[in-house]
Amino acid sequence: MNKIRGFFLGYYDELVNKVTWPKGDELKGNTVTVLVASLLIALLIFFMDFIFNSSLQFVYDLFN
Protein backbone atom coordinates (compact mmCIF):
# COMPACT_ATOMS: atom_id res chain seq x y z
CA MET A 1 0.00 0.00 0.00
CA ASN A 2 2.92 2.35 0.69
CA LYS A 3 4.21 1.83 -2.88
CA ILE A 4 0.88 2.90 -4.34
CA ARG A 5 0.70 5.91 -2.05
CA GLY A 6 4.28 6.85 -2.91
CA PHE A 7 3.51 6.57 -6.61
CA PHE A 8 0.56 8.95 -6.37
CA LEU A 9 2.48 11.39 -4.18
CA GLY A 10 5.32 11.44 -6.70
CA TYR A 11 2.82 11.82 -9.53
CA TYR A 12 1.15 14.77 -7.81
CA ASP A 13 4.50 16.38 -6.95
CA GLU A 14 5.66 16.17 -10.54
CA LEU A 15 2.44 17.65 -11.94
CA VAL A 16 2.34 20.52 -9.45
CA ASN A 17 6.02 21.40 -9.01
CA LYS A 18 7.98 20.15 -12.04
CA VAL A 19 5.69 20.57 -15.05
CA THR A 20 5.81 23.91 -16.85
CA TRP A 21 2.27 24.78 -17.89
CA PRO A 22 1.73 27.22 -20.78
CA LYS A 23 0.23 30.63 -20.15
CA GLY A 24 -3.21 31.46 -21.55
CA ASP A 25 -1.98 33.45 -24.58
CA GLU A 26 0.56 30.79 -25.50
CA LEU A 27 -2.10 28.09 -25.19
CA LYS A 28 -4.52 30.03 -27.42
CA GLY A 29 -1.81 30.58 -30.03
CA ASN A 30 -0.84 26.93 -30.06
CA THR A 31 -4.50 25.90 -30.29
CA VAL A 32 -5.06 28.12 -33.31
CA THR A 33 -1.90 26.75 -34.93
CA VAL A 34 -3.04 23.15 -34.45
CA LEU A 35 -6.55 23.90 -35.75
CA VAL A 36 -5.24 25.65 -38.87
CA ALA A 37 -2.70 22.90 -39.56
CA SER A 38 -5.39 20.22 -39.08
CA LEU A 39 -7.73 22.04 -41.46
CA LEU A 40 -5.01 22.39 -44.11
CA ILE A 41 -4.07 18.72 -43.86
CA ALA A 42 -7.74 17.69 -44.05
CA LEU A 43 -8.23 19.85 -47.16
CA LEU A 44 -5.08 18.41 -48.73
CA ILE A 45 -6.31 14.86 -48.13
CA PHE A 46 -9.77 15.77 -49.46
CA PHE A 47 -8.35 17.16 -52.71
CA MET A 48 -5.97 14.22 -53.13
CA ASP A 49 -8.89 11.83 -52.65
CA PHE A 50 -11.05 13.81 -55.07
CA ILE A 51 -8.35 13.82 -57.77
CA PHE A 52 -7.61 10.12 -57.28
CA ASN A 53 -11.31 9.25 -57.37
CA SER A 54 -11.88 11.36 -60.49
CA SER A 55 -8.88 9.79 -62.21
CA LEU A 56 -10.04 6.27 -61.47
CA GLN A 57 -13.57 7.09 -62.55
CA PHE A 58 -12.21 8.40 -65.85
CA VAL A 59 -10.22 5.20 -66.40
CA TYR A 60 -13.22 3.01 -65.51
CA ASP A 61 -15.42 4.97 -67.92
CA LEU A 62 -12.95 4.32 -70.73
CA PHE A 63 -13.60 0.58 -70.47
CA ASN A 64 -17.40 0.73 -70.17
- What are 13-51's pLDDT values in tens digits? 999 999 999 999 999 999 999 999 999 999 999 999 999
Predicted structure pTM score:
0.67
Residue 50: inside a domain = yes
pLDDT of residue 1: 85
Domain contains 7? no
Q: Confirm whether 41 is domain-assigned.
A: yes
Give the pLDDT confidence score for residue 39 in this predicted structure.
Answer: 98
Quote the domain boundaries for residue 31: 21-64
Query: Domain tally for the chain?
Result: 1
For residue 63, being part of any structural domain is answered with yes
Most distant CA pair in the chain: distance in Å?
A: 74
Q: Is residue 28 part of a domain?
A: yes
- What integer pLDDT is reported at residue 44 of this predicted model? 98
One-letter amino acid at 22 equals P
Residue 43 lies in a domain: yes
